[in-house]
Amino acid sequence: MKRQVPLLITFIVGAVLVVAAFIPHNPFGRLGENFSLYFDIIAVFAFFLGGGNLVRIHSGRFFRGLKFYFMEIKKQGGFWPLKMLIAFPFYAMGGIEDRRGKDWFFSMVTLIGFFVMLWAGLFKIGNPGGWQGNVTAPGSLFQDFFMYVFTPLKATMYSLLAFFVASASYRAFRAKNKEATILLVTAFVILLGRTPAGYYVTFWLPDTLSFFQVPNLANWIMGVPNLAGQRAIIVGISLGVISMSLRVILGIERTYLGQDKD
């Protein structure tokens, strides 16, 4: 019963949505709309689930680390409460490490970040419109945290990619064989074509040879070989999704239900 009911729901919803796509008239059209609406409502609960899961995992790790730290300090004797306060920064930064308490400091930072943002957003602290206003209104604490803490952090993390891409390009783009040479030349054309430098390198070519101007070559690579490859991939993925969806709807694929036992 624990497995039959979810399988039945999946079959009905999946079948109705497939039929609704081909016959968008009532009752299938209305049912399809309603099922999409239910999906949106259920999606909201994923936030509670995600938040709860984050707190559960990181609080467990944090308290385990804190307990281990407390025991370590107490073992050393002396006036342990003072020792505990003094040693905390060193311990937190990884001075004392143990399998049981590893990375607990990062869990603490995660939990603080989570609860501070939750507090600022939930109670709309400093919101110009008060409780009724928009949570992300300029001037609210939530928006300030977002703009001045979250945004620089995320942008920094992403921009680090530039350094690794450069380093990886230096090591990986070697003309070792025919295929690697084609890849190297393509990368060169795209890199050059995506900058104004590409234009200046080949702008002197006559109109009859304009195809060989680097920006035009880059556009051709994106619009022809890349397009063909991407289309092939999309067709392949789509066929895979269709067959997988049929397996799920018909109850052949059951891994999404968890462990495969009744």
Partner 1 sequence: MAFFDTIKNIDRRVIFLFIALSVIVPLLFNVIFPERITPIVQKIFDKIEALPEGSRVLISLDFDPSTAPEQEPMVDAVIYHCCQRNVKLYVMALWGAGQNIADATINRIITTHFPNKVYGVDYVHLGYKAGNQGLINVIITDMKKMYTTDVNGTQIDSIPMMRGVRSLKNMDLIAAFGGGFPGLKEWILFAGDPGNIPVAGGVTAVSAPLLYPYYPNQMLGMMGGIKGAAEYESELIRKYPDFEKMPHGGLEMMGPQAVAHVVIMLFIIIGNVTFFIDRKRKTRAN
Q: Is 177 left (phi over 0), alpha (psi -120 to 50) or beta?
A: beta
Provide the b/e sequence for 123-144 (b: ≥16 CB within 10 Å): ebeebeeeeeeeeeeeebbbbe
Instruction: Tell me which stretch binds partner 1 (CB under 8 A): 1-9, 42-50, 74-82, 249-257.
Output: 42-50
Instruction: Tell me which stretch binds partner 1 (CB under 8 A): 51-59, 96-104, 112-120, 142-150.
Output: 142-150
Burial status of residue 86 (CB atoms within 10 A of its CB: 0-12, 13-18, 19 or more): exposed
At 125, is the secondary structure helix, strand, or coil?
coil
CB of 259 to partner 1, least distance (A): 27
Chain centre distance of CA 53: 16
Instruction: Tell me which stretch binds partner 1 (CB under 8 A): 8-16, 65-73, 104-112, 172-180.
Output: 172-180
Site for partner 1 (CB under 8 A): which residue of 14, 219, 220, 254? 219
DSSP-assigned letter for residue 30: H
What are the helix (H) ranges across the chain?
Answer: 4-22, 28-75, 80-92, 104-122, 141-145, 151-172, 178-193, 196-202, 214-223, 225-249
Q: Note whether 249 and 243 are within 8 A (CB).
A: no
Question: Residue 167 interacts with partner 1 (CB under 8 A)?
Answer: yes
Question: Residue 199 interacts with partner 1 (CB under 8 A)?
Answer: yes
Residue 174, φ and ψ in degrees, nearest 5: -120, 140
Instruction: Tell me which stretch binds partner 1 (CB under 8 A): 41-49, 67-75, 79-87, 91-99.
Output: 41-49
Site for partner 1 (CB under 8 A): which residue of 119, 188, 211, 212? 188
Instruction: Tell me which stretch binds partner 1 (CB under 8 A): 70-78, 85-93, 182-190, 239-247.
Output: 182-190
Long-range pairs of 141-149 with CB within 8 A, sequence gap ≥ 24: 142/117, 145/116, 145/117, 145/120
Is 53 or 134 the residue whose CB approaches partner 1 more closely? Answer: 134
Question: Residue 222 interacts with partner 1 (CB under 8 A)?
Answer: yes
Q: Note whether 234 and 206 are within 8 A (CB).
A: no
Question: Residue 210 interacts with partner 1 (CB under 8 A)?
Answer: no
Site for partner 1 (CB under 8 A): which residue of 77, 81, 138, 206? 138
Site for partner 1 (CB under 8 A): which residue of 1, 5, 43, 252? 43
Whole-angstrom distance, CA of residue 133 vs CA of residue 116? 19
Q: Note whether 131 and 124 are within 8 A (CB).
A: yes
Site for partner 1 (CB under 8 A): which residue of 52, 194, 210, 211? 194
Looking at residues 86 to 105 of the shown chain, list those that interact with partner 1 (rule: CB under 8 A).
none
Which residues lie near partner 1 (CB under 8 A)?
Answer: 33, 36-37, 39-40, 43-44, 46-47, 129, 132-134, 136-138, 143, 146-147, 150-155, 157-159, 162-163, 165-167, 169-171, 173-176, 184, 187-188, 191-192, 194-197, 199, 215, 219, 222-223, 226-227, 230-231, 234
